[in-house]
Structure 1
Amino acid sequence: MIWQTLRSLFGGEAAVGGVFREEWIALLEKNLPLYALLPEDLRLKLHERIGKFIATIRFEGCGGLELTEEMILTVAAQACLLVTNREGKPYPELKVVYLYPSTFSSVRKQVDAIGVVTEGEIHRLGESWESGTVVLSWNSVEQGARNVFDADNVTFHEFAHQLDHEDGSTDGAPSLQGIAAYRSWAKVFRENYADFLQQTEEGKKTVINSYGATNPPEFFAVATEAFFEKPRQLFRKRPELYEEMMNYYGLDPREWFE
């Protein structure tokens, strides 16, 4: 399996600061224009994160998809960009990434006001499970990676959910450092989410995708997409929200687009 081959490579010197192969760099520059914008020191950190990610998290192809180095590295690079400045294992609770060739189906259960449960099949581009699983559509991953200016990136979205899961509750607030950080995050996100809901209801154009109006966890996930792909616009429209996300991610993507 290609994942096992890559895992064995990254389990060795590549994972501990060895040479990140030239063909991998060329692949990321082609598939992920955002990677090409990163400063050299951040690229080197990202290489290390990618190594640890692939060495510790299983990849499986589904729906007849045969995995390639390109697929694994494209997913890993985007997932790890979110945690470039984080120590230890990139996603401690994550166990496996499943890749489908295109949209996939899942069953959703809904309970109405009187307790009647209904099930329906829905088509997905991606899913993130609290049990330590991310499911992605490869063609959506590829399209999202190659357009770096549209704030529409399914990989960023689903891995933002993984970060949200880490503190035990999926509520739009990831694991933060200290009570003061939680208070500041809660205040800023509550105010911005309320304003975002009003703008969405009024049909106004927003930097953050309107899907964020679904609930606070989705707001955090789509705000993450905007933070990495439309940082200047997000800062202009929602400076306090941008600052909270900049503090959390330890990155300022505005610098990359200069």
Structure 2
Amino acid sequence: MDMPPVSGWIFVIVIGAILATVIYSVLVYPLLRKRKALALPLSDEWRSIIESSVPYYPRFTSEEQYHIERLIKYFLVEKVFFGCGGLVITDEIRVTIAAQASLLVLHKASDAYPKLHYILVYPSGFSVERDQVGAGGVVESRRMHMLGESWHNGKIILSWEDVRKDAHESGTGHNVVLHEFAHQLDSETGAANGTPLLPNKDYQRWANVLDTELSALRYAASLQIDSVMDKYGATNEAEFFAVATETFFGKPYQLAQRHGELFQILVKYYQFDPRQWQDEPLYEPIDDNAADRA
């Protein structure tokens, strides 16, 4: 029987090597990394950081505590941290950010932020150049002060000073980690437009609530009317979702009282009600105004 030419065998070997590499990279290596992550011991120091950065961690069920610890360990193996502006990355920085980011996906079945690879951390707020359209349609370059920024190419930038501050002031409704990682969830559809991945049957209701609530917030902002949500959320749909997420975790009782339908779609999306972890704050009942009904 005639043997295939040597060039034929070389071709078969090369194709086999390529297939083996692809299979290892796509199937085997991620599994090994995940096993490595979950095998990491959770030290007392790390647990102390988690309790400090997620104040209601002690109120989690044992199942929730177990799950968030697994998410944190996997996050720390998968994501690469870079210190910027002279900042040295420490376990406190890594675990604090990982714990708060994992809070958003605590009850979600998918892997945590599969498109995110790099987290850049500055000591404090940082400045960036942005082109903005000014009067008469003239494009002007302006320097903007930022506390955090989420990019579509697998990066998040954070101010450590503000991350730490927000971690210890959980009831303010402001949290830069939750805000920027909400943008990452929003971007999983391919575009940050205020609508994350949802079951098909939920998109219409989400769009209706988003439109109504964004219009109400813009109306309140235009008249300088107090709102439970930060008025930065009136910027656009993407910022509205990020600010709504901050408020959902930081002021769940107030959000549920003032914006019940928005609160309910967030409960359905995040698959839990954060009021179960927090005591109801002592505040006077709010008399809804025209802005909330717009």
TM value normalised by structure 1: 0.90
Q: Which one of the candidate residues 62, 83, 95 is aligned to 2:117?
A: 95
Structure 1 residue 21 displacement after superposition: 2.2
Tell whether the 8 Å contact from 1:39 to 1:256 is kept in structure 2 after alignment.
no
| Gapped regions of structure 2 (runs ≥ 5) | 1-31, 280-294
**Map 1:43-82 → 2, pairs under 5 A:** 43-82=65-104
| 2:241 aligned to which of 220, 224, 232 | 220
Larger Rg: 2
Distance in structure 1 (CA, Å) of the matches to 2:39 and 2:241: 32
Match of 2:262 among 241, 244, 248: 241
Matched, 1:191 2:209: no
1:155 matches 2:190: no
Letter in 1 for 2:120: Y
Alignment identity in percent? 40
- Distance in 2 (CA, whole Å) between partners of 1:13 and 1:22 is 21
Q: Using the alignment, how far apart are the partners of 1:39 and 1:202 within structure 2? A: 43
Q: Which residues in structure 2 correspond to 1:81-230 (within 5 Å)?
A: 81-112=103-134, 115-178=137-200, 180-230=201-251
Q: Provide Cα deviations, 1:106-142, integer angstroms capped at 9, x if missing partner.
A: 1111234755322121111000011111000000000
What per-residue deviation string (whole Å, max 9, x for no partner) do you get for residues 40-76 of structure 1?
3211111111111111111110000001000000000
Residue 7 of structure 1 corresponds to: none
**3-state secondary structure, aligned to 2:56:** helix
SS of 1:106's equivalent in the other structure is: strand
Q: What's the CA shift string for 1:65-99, capped at 9, x where partnerless?
A: 00100000000000110011223420011110000
Equivalent in the alignment of 2:278: 257
Contact 2:34 2:74 survives alignment (8 Å)? no
SS in 2 for 1:94: coil
C-alpha distance in 1 between matches for 2:95 and 2:214 = 33
User: Cα gap change, 1:165/1:13 in structure 2, threshold over 3 Å: closer, same or farther?
Assistant: closer
1:18 to partner: Cα distance: 6.3
- Distance between the aligned counterparts of 1:131 and 1:218, measured in 2? 18
Q: CA deviation at 1:19?
A: 4.5
Structure 1 runs of 4+ aligned residues shifted over 6 Å read: none
Q: What SS does structure 2 have at the residue aligned with 1:33? A: coil
Distance 2:80 2:208 in 1: 37
In structure 1, distance between residues paired with 2:109 and 2:43: 23
What residue number does 1:38 align with?
60
Q: Normalised by the size of structure 2, how large is the TM-score?
A: 0.80
Relative to 1, partners in 2 of residues 1:44 and 1:15: Cα closer, same or farther, differing over 3 Å?
Answer: same
Q: In the alignment, residue 49 of structure 2 is paired with which amino acid?
A: L
Deviation at 1:216, TM superposition (A): 1.2
- 5+ residue gaps, structure 1, are 1-9
CA RMSD of aligned residues (A): 1.8
Look up the SS of the partner of 2:171 in the other structure. coil
AA in 1 matched with 2:42: F
Tell me the equivalent position of 1:6. none
In structure 2, what is the Cα distance between the partners aligned to 1:247 and 1:86? 11
Residues 82/115 of structure 1: CA separation in 2 closer, same or farther (3 Å cut): same
How far off is 1:187 after superposition? 0.8
